[in-house]
Amino acid sequence: MNTQLVAVDIGGTHARFAIATIAADGAIVLGEPETLHTKDHASFQTAWEDFRERNGGTLPKAVAMAIAGPVGGDVIRFTNNPWIIRPALTKEKLGVDSFTIVNDFEAVAHAVARASEDQFIHLTGPKGALPATGRLTVLGPGTGLGVAHLYREPNGTYRVSATEGGHVDFAPLDSIEDAILARLRKRHNRVSVERVVAGPAISDIYQTLAAMEGKPVSEEDDVAIWTRGQDGSDSLAAAAVDRFCLSLGSVAGDMALAHGAKGVVIAGGLGYRIRDTLLSSGFAERFRAKGRFESMMSTLPVKLIVHPQPGLFGAAAAYASEFLGDKS
């Protein structure tokens, strides 16, 4: 018997909705996603009502939400939008019978657990499918740096844990990273890896490289730097993107060591946009460069998930695991 639910992926700027169908064998199919701007709605409830009207006035009686931020406690607040969600009132406010709420990167790890092999691009390490058992590290640079780990049991089930791995200390490995750290220390007493390996960090990397070359550059939007760094129109921006990839490789390797991982998955829209640069950069070398553990690191497969909606897919997968049993 199929189960239908509404999958929702809520960030600071957008709230994405889709009707998800979970088959009896655990297969998940997403309907066409709809993206609403959070600034256009006073609350999540009014956004939900908007989506309901777009779907003829009725919705399934279950919802799975992936939320960009902590999900524990009586009140869920968002960093970059004014919405508030009170889990205890979810059934009443939305008119549903069941719901699950997970951190957005916890949802991505659920997506990694259930996505088919053709939803991954190989980055480095042994080719072939990700290990069927054991722990995988999942991380993704976006507005911040999300980190989770996924444990696959020998019986085919799995467990997911969200972490705050993006907030561990940044460890520079060369003089350029020393300079990046020095710049960041002027504003932050403690510099986490998220300050260097997340989308907005490209601005500080770019400014650091410009200062090293004595080039005056103005402060600007990080999106513009990413664009120029990717299209080849600015060699300094391209160097900043390459430097970002080096640091991402180092951090991914550190997380794999800390988790005892048998494989690593890079996630997020930013990772997908820079996939060609990741392949041609020093990402793989930095991932392996762990001193006495270099040979071990070379045995770990590293993939990039390319599912178009991992947050929505993962939210539905989290619901399936909680309410329908793990049939992955």
pLDDT in tens, 133-149: 999 999 999 888 999 99
Report the C-alpha gap between 222 and 240 in whole angstroms.
Answer: 11
**Same domain for 250 and 313:** no
Q: Would the annotation count 10 as a binding residue? A: yes
Whether 250 maps to a domain, the answer reads yes
Helix (H) or strand (E) run with residue 122 in it: strand 120-124
**Same domain for 294 and 199:** yes
**Same domain for 172 and 290:** yes
Tokens representing 108 are 């991505």
Per-residue pLDDT of the chain (328 residues; tens, 9 = 90+): 899 999 999 987 889 999 999 999 889 999 999 999 999 999 999 999 999 999 999 999 999 999 988 888 899 987 678 899 999 999 999 999 999 999 989 999 999 999 999 999 999 999 999 999 999 999 999 888 999 999 999 998 999 998 989 999 999 999 999 999 999 999 999 999 999 999 999 999 999 999 999 998 888 889 999 999 999 899 999 999 999 999 999 999 999 999 999 999 999 888 888 988 999 999 999 999 999 999 999 999 999 999 989 999 999 999 999 998 765 5
**Same domain for 313 and 289:** no
Q: Closest by alpha carbon to 203, among 222, 186, 187, 182?
A: 222
**Same domain for 225 and 201:** yes
**Same domain for 174 and 301:** yes
Do residues 61 and 319 make contact, with C-beta atoms less than 8 angstroms apart?
no
**Cβ neighbours around 12 below 10 Å, total:** 15
Whether 10 maps to a domain, the answer reads yes
Q: Would the annotation count 21 as a binding residue? A: no
Q: Would the annotation count 8 as a binding residue? A: yes
Sign, CA torsion 104/161/167/280: negative
What number of CA atoms fall less than 13 Å from residue 317's CA on the CB side?
Answer: 26
The domain that contains 36 carries what CATH number? 3.30.420.40
Whether 186 maps to a domain, the answer reads yes
Whether 160 maps to a domain, the answer reads no
- Show the domain range for 226: 165-305
Number of domains within the chain:
2
Tokens representing 133 are 């058992």
Q: Would the annotation count 35 as a binding residue? A: no
The domain that contains 197 carries what CATH number? 3.40.367.20
**Residue 102, beta-bridge partner list:** 66
Q: Would the annotation count 13 as a binding residue? A: yes
Tokens representing 327 are 């049939």
**Same domain for 7 and 32:** yes
pLDDT digits (tens, 9 = 90+) for 170-188: 999 999 999 999 999 999 9
**Same domain for 242 and 312:** no
Whether 141 maps to a domain, the answer reads no
Q: What is the amino acid identity at position 294?
A: E
Measured at the CA of 137, the angle between CA 267 and CA 24, to 5 degrees, comes to 75
**Same domain for 315 and 273:** no
Q: What is the amino acid identity at position 39?
A: K
Report the C-alpha gap between 290 and 107 in whole angstroms.
Answer: 29
Phi-psi region of 296 (alpha: psi -120 to 50; beta: other; left: phi over 0): alpha
Residue corresponding to tokens 């897919």: 313
Whether 121 maps to a domain, the answer reads no
**Same domain for 68 and 44:** yes
**Same domain for 286 and 315:** no
Whether 124 maps to a domain, the answer reads no
Q: Would the annotation count 305 as a binding residue? A: no
Residue corresponding to tokens 């979810």: 90
Q: Given the DSSP bridges, would you call strands 62-67 and 3-10 parallel, antiparallel or unpaired?
A: parallel
Please state, in angstroms and as integers, the Cα–Cα distance from residue 325 to each residue in 27, 81, 290, 316, following that order: 12, 34, 39, 12
**Same domain for 320 and 300:** no
Whether 142 maps to a domain, the answer reads no
